[in-house]
Amino acid sequence: MSVIRLENLVKRFGNFTALKTMDLTVADGEFMALLGPSGCGKSTTMNMIAGMERPSGGRILFDGRDMAGVAMGRRGVGFVFQNYAIFTHMSVRQNLDYGLRMTGRPGAEISSRTKAIAEFLQLTGLLDRPAAGLSVNILQRVAIGRSAVMEPAIFLLDEPLSNVDAAFRAVMRTELKQLQREFKQTMVYVTHDQLEAMTMADRIAVMDHGVLQQVGSPLQVYNDPANVFVARFIGAPGMNLLKGRPVETPSGLAVDLGRMGLTPVLPAPLAAAARGANGDVWYGFRPESLHFAPPGTGIAREVSFVERIGARTIVHLGFGEDGFKAVFDRSSGLTLGEVAHLAPEPTSVRLFDAATGVALWGI
Amino acid sequence: MSAAETLHDVAPMSPGKEAARLGFRLTLPAQILVLFISLFPLLMQLYISLTDWSPLAGTSWPQAWAMWNTFANYTDLIGDDRLWAALGRTGFIMAVCVPVEFLLGLGLATLFADDFPGKRVAYSILIMPMMVVPAVAGYMFYMLFQSGGPVNDLLAHLTGAPVTVAWLSSPTLALAAVMVADIWQWTPLMFLILLSGLVGVPEDQMKAATLLGANAWQRFLTIALPRMKAIMVIAVAIRVIECFKIFDTLYIMTGGGPGVATETISVYIYKITTGDLIWGYVAAIALAILVVLSVACLWAMRRLAK
């Protein structure tokens, strides 16, 4: 059982700072997803936890024990590589029991544990096949099994599903979650796919440009993004953000959305938060929270593009900075060029300081 | 008869057969050349090896049949102690030099697989012996091992007493000196080939093995070694073949001497070719070695293919 603590963790490569002072605690048995676009520092963080990279500053603690001088082979972490790093000159069995053999476990234990993990990952029939030439989906399982068989207290996965096909990805999401429930490891899962993070993680750490943006449960980061980056990054499509200016109206504080031709009044808690802001704000709302409004009460925009994705429809309204998106279940009935009148659900509205991008909490 | 009918009359040839036939015709000139280069000398050698012909016989080689002796050269060969001694010596040099070169090369390659300061310079220096013309290397070691040479000077400096070891005049020391020169010159080749193999070992797999608890030695045995097997075989094969042919460096250092103390098979053949001029016998030795080596190579390759 292990708690991972990152304290003021910094990583520089020459002049480039890959990670700027990161603080994060991953609780015992927690499934933490490090989520962010390419180059945000999530893999670097992971490599430092595993001991493959040396931090330029700060500390990594496992259960309060500083890992600074501990070599990567002695940290007791399981690691699944993005490209799997399968030992292709060995059989599936030799891959699975590699760690057990190298650490000198007794033969009976090796075979029973290998058998168990092979059964769990449905690899039993493939045990004596050479690993070279197996499909990516199988290699994926072997890579996970090879680490899981060691029953590490900490399990690190570096984008393990990025190379497998969509259908198998869905299967593996479920299996990984099951695996974690069974072995109760502390899991850190690096991904750029928010769907993976949202479906599997207990908490998500959103990162960008080497800076930790927000840590929270999947619903927290979805509902209450800490800043503009998280708001745009989480959700498909991300949150709509319209530039506005807070103005006092007879019915309370409202946001003048300028060219959008609308000055929606803010709900009381948000209004209180917005009063603290100096200057412009971002008026944010989820594409899923839009509903049709009578003409004159909503935002009137021309439909510029309609994407139909199976059951869902994404409607693009307006262009450029004034543009936003709406998501409807099934067809929206809107057609290209038509003017739509839409209004966001007042409870779904979020405000961000336009200068800093930081959320103005008012919930 | 129209052209179409003519074509129809010809029995259709399968495309593969047709392509093979065309290929055969197109490569015919090259094949004749190869036959001339490889087969002709072989047949000539076989012919001469069955005679007592010598350039001093007064006849040109096609008339060698006049001195036909059937298999006398081959039966002589079996009883030729000097030949067997030379073969044994060559084998001994091979048995010492190749493993030493292999282990040194592997050790160096392991060092060079990781980064360290000054790696590029060290690399260049290490590769240099290989670039030296063997005759020059022979001359260098000839000078180094003189009784008044730098090796003795260095030993004198270390021991504090004057050292005048006659390296190249002592039968045992001369053999050692010759082997030192071979190891000096050819370890770099071994190193270079093995390094290329080591660099080809995927780094991720090494990391994965480390994370699974394998120590450096286990990683080498289980990950690096299996992946390097093929390249190791190639490296050893190249050196075994080259070492069997050892001649130039050695000949300049010792001339095969003192006496026959460093006489390898190449030196022996050279001496009886240029000195004794018994070309029929030389041809028999050369052919016998070729046959034995070919069989040995075939056997080794079969073994390795398994």
pLDDT at B2: 45
Mean pLDDT check: name the lowest of A206-210, A260-264, B109-113.
A260-264
A36 part of contact set with chain B, CB < 8 Å: no
pLDDT at A254: 85
pLDDT at B306: 63
Q: Please determine, for residue A276, whether its predicted confidence score (pLDDT) is greater than 80.
A: no
pLDDT at B5: 47
Among 3.10.20.30, 3.40.50.300, 3.30.70.270, 3.30.1160.10, name the CATH number for the domain at A4-223. 3.40.50.300
- Measured in degrees and rounded to the nearest 5, phi and psi for residue A107 equal -55, -40
B129 part of contact set with chain A, CB < 8 Å: no
**Domain spans in chain A, listed from the N-terminal domain onward:** 4-223, 240-360
B194 or A257, which is more confident:
B194
B218 part of contact set with chain A, CB < 8 Å: yes
Q: Spell out the residues 6+ positions from residue B94 whose beta carbon is closer than 8 angstroms to its own.
A: B240, B243, B244
Confidence of residue B67 (pLDDT cuts 50, 70, 90): confident
pLDDT at B1: 42
With beta carbons less than 8 A apart as the criterion, state whether B66 and B59 touch: yes
State pLDDT tens for residues A100-140. Answer: 999 888 989 999 999 999 998 888 888 899 988 888 888 88
Suggest the residue from B207, B210, B211, B221 to mutate for an interface test with chain A (most A CBs closer than 10 A): B211
Question: In Å, how far is B118's CA from the nearest CA of chain A?
Answer: 19
pLDDT at A286: 92
Question: In Å, how far is A193's CA from the nearest CA of chain B?
Answer: 23
- Measured in degrees and rounded to the nearest 5, phi and psi for residue A71 equal -65, 155
Instruction: Answer whether B211 sits within 8 Å of A87, measured CB to CB.
Output: no
**Domain spans in chain B, listed from the N-terminal domain onward:** 14-73, 81-263
What H or E segment, with its residue span, contains residue A218?
A: helix A218-223
Q: Please determine, for residue B212, whether its predicted confidence score (pLDDT) is greater than 70.
A: yes
pLDDT at A362: 60
Place of tokens 């899991």: A187
Q: Spell out a b/e string for A291-308, using b for 16 or more CB atoms within 10 Å of the CB, else e.
A: eebeeeebbbbebeebee
Q: Which CATH class is domain B81-263?
A: mainly alpha
Instruction: Answer whether A99 sits within 8 Å of B214, measured CB to CB.
Output: yes
Residue B97 token pair: 């030099």
User: Helical H runs in B202-278?
Assistant: 203-211, 216-219, 225-244, 248-254, 265-271
State pLDDT tens for residues A339-358. Answer: 888 888 888 889 898 888 88
With beta carbons less than 8 A apart as the criterion, state whether A154 and A122 touch: no
B214 part of contact set with chain A, CB < 8 Å: yes
pLDDT at B10: 54
With beta carbons less than 8 A apart as the criterion, state whether B195 and B187 touch: no
Mean pLDDT of A138-151: 90
What's the complex ipTM? Answer: 0.81
Contacting residues of A for B218, CB less than 8 Å apart:
102
B133 or A275, which is more confident:
B133
A114 part of contact set with chain B, CB < 8 Å: no
Q: Which residue of B has its CA nearest to A78?
A: B211
CA distance A226 to A352: 9
Mean pLDDT of A144-149: 90
A174 part of contact set with chain B, CB < 8 Å: no
Instruction: Answer whether B211 sits within 8 Å of A102, measured CB to CB.
Output: no
Statement: the pTM of the whole predicted model exceeds 0.95:
no
Mean pLDDT of A70-95: 88
State pLDDT tens for residues A10-64. Answer: 999 988 988 998 999 999 989 999 999 988 888 899 999 998 889 999 999 999 8
CATH of domain A240-360: 2.40.50.140
Strand partners, A299: A342
Q: Please determine, for residue A205, whether its predicted confidence score (pLDDT) is greater than 50.
A: yes
- Counted across chains A and B, CB pairs separated by less than 8 A come out at 54
Suggest the residue from A89, A140, A154 to mutate for an interface test with chain B (most B CBs closer than 10 A): A89
CA distance A52 to A39: 17
With beta carbons less than 8 A apart as the criterion, state whether A113 and A100 touch: yes
B209 part of contact set with chain A, CB < 8 Å: yes
Mean pLDDT check: name the lowest of A18-22, A162-166, B46-50, B124-128.
A162-166
Question: In Å, how far is A208's CA from the nearest CA of chain B?
Answer: 26
